[in-house]
Amino acid sequence: MKLNLIVAMASNMGIGFKGTIPWRLKKDMALFAKLTKWTKDNSKRNVVIMGRRTWESIPERNRPLPNRLNVVLSESQQQIDNTLTCKSLESALQLLQDPLYLNQIENIWIIGGASVYKEAMNHQSCHRIYVTHVLEDFECDVFMPAIDQGKFRLVSDPMVPQDADEENGIAFEVKVYEKV
Ligand SMILES: NC(=O)c1ccc[n+]([C@@H]2O[C@H](COP(=O)([O-])OP(=O)(O)OC[C@H]3O[C@@H](n4cnc5c(N)ncnc54)[C@H](OP(=O)(O)O)[C@@H]3O)[C@@H](O)[C@H]2O)c1
Average pLDDT, the chain: 97
Q: Does the structure show a pLDDT above 90 at 13?
A: yes
Are the CB atoms for 21 and 82 separated by under 8 Å? no
Would residue 166 count as lying in a domain? Answer: no
Q: Assess whether the C-beta atom of 92 lies below 6 angstroms from ligand 1.
A: no
Provide the pLDDT for residue 170.
98
Write the CB contacts of 62 (distance below 8 Å, at least 6 apart in sequence).
none
Q: Assess whether the C-beta atom of 89 lies below 6 angstroms from ligand 1.
A: yes
- 3-state DSSP call for residue 61? helix
Minimum CA distance residue for ligand 1 atom 4: 15
Mean pLDDT across the stretch 52-65? 98
pLDDT tens track for 147-170: 999 999 999 999 999 999 999 999
Q: Please give the tally of structural domains in the chain.
A: 1
Would residue 160 count as lying in a domain? Answer: no
**Which CATH number characterizes residue 145's domain?**
3.40.430.10
Residue 1: pLDDT band (50, 70, 90) is: confident
State CA 59 to chain mean position distance. Answer: 16
Provide the pLDDT for residue 23.
98
Mean pLDDT across the stretch 7-29? 98
Provide the pLDDT for residue 58.
97
Would residue 122 count as lying in a domain? Answer: yes
Would residue 35 count as lying in a domain? Answer: yes
Mean pLDDT across the stretch 19-31? 98
Residue 72: pLDDT band (50, 70, 90) is: very high
Would residue 32 count as lying in a domain? Answer: yes
For residue 25, the enclosing domain spans 3-154
Would residue 47 count as lying in a domain? Answer: yes
Q: Does the structure show a pLDDT above 90 at 102?
A: yes
Would residue 74 count as lying in a domain? Answer: yes
For CA atoms 51, 59, 35, 21, give the dihedral sign: negative
Would residue 164 count as lying in a domain? Answer: no
Residue 112: pLDDT band (50, 70, 90) is: very high
Among 31, 87, 115, say which to mutate for ligand 1: greatest number of ligand atoms within 8 Å of CB: 115
